[in-house]
Amino acid sequence: MGWLSRFITAVAFLAVGVIFSPETLGSKSPTLSTYLKLAHLLSFSTAFGAALWVTFIGGIIMFKNLPRHQFGNLQSKMFPAYFSMVGVCCAVSVASFGYLHPWKTSSTTERYQLGFLLSSFAFNLTNLFVFTPMTIEMMKQRHKVERENSIGEEVGWSKNVEVAKSNPKLKAMNKKFGMIHGLSSLANIMSFGSLAVHSWYLAGKIDL
């Protein structure tokens, strides 16, 4: 199934959900707030689900099973798209939540929630425009040095660590890459944490 087919299928299911919603079945037209709540819920759940998968499942599986250079090259293509998508979803969540809960009339809890959503958005933008480009550039430089030492096709870190002990240039690169990648990972975790806090707020609002 191609990308367009998948997208059309998803839209079709969404349309069915709208048709059989309580408002439609009750002959009551959905209000603007209903559409904004839907946009907020879909955007938030997409961002949260993507962050959960990439951070705790997909990335770890790929790292443990792909040659390091292949893994790095794949990540360099995936992360810009990942942070862009999550950033857009966070922006929609912020906009819809802010419209539904104007700052002047919102409660303290609602203001905190808007702050968490804005934090997640900011952390993603930082990763997209600052840490990710730096990480990719540093990775390319390190890959070049590793290829000169005939390493990089193994799975894991063992050969890199061994060669770095006798290669000051590679050792310095590892240290710099580790610092930049660490900051990127921290920003990603902070973004995910902010979304997790908001998930608790939404759970308290849902009437099942």
pLDDT tens digits for 31-63? 888 889 999 999 999 999 999 999 999 999 999
Structure tokens at 75: 């990540």
Neighbours of 46 (CB within 10 A): 17
Dihedral sign of CA atoms 72, 76, 78, 79 in order: positive
Mean pLDDT of 129-145: 95
Dihedral sign of CA atoms 82, 48, 95, 133 in order: negative
Percent residues over pLDDT 70 in the chain: 86
- According to the model, what pLDDT value does residue 1 have? 57
Question: Is 0.85 topped by the overall pTM?
Answer: yes
- 90 neighbors 120 (Cβ within 8 angstroms): yes
pLDDT over threshold 70, residue 24: no
Neighbours of 168 (CB within 10 A): 9
- According to the model, what pLDDT value does residue 208 have? 75
The H helix count followed by the E strand count for the chain is 9, 0
pLDDT over threshold 90, residue 13: no
- 43 neighbors 90 (Cβ within 8 angstroms): yes
CA distance linking residue 153 with residue 155, whole number of Å: 7
Of the listed ranges 19-28, 62-71, 82-91, the one predicted with least confidence: 19-28
Most confident segment among 22-31, 149-158, 166-175: 166-175
pLDDT over threshold 70, residue 129: yes
Mean pLDDT of 99-117: 96
CA angle 24, 29, 34 (to 5 degrees): 90
- 30 neighbors 21 (Cβ within 8 angstroms): yes
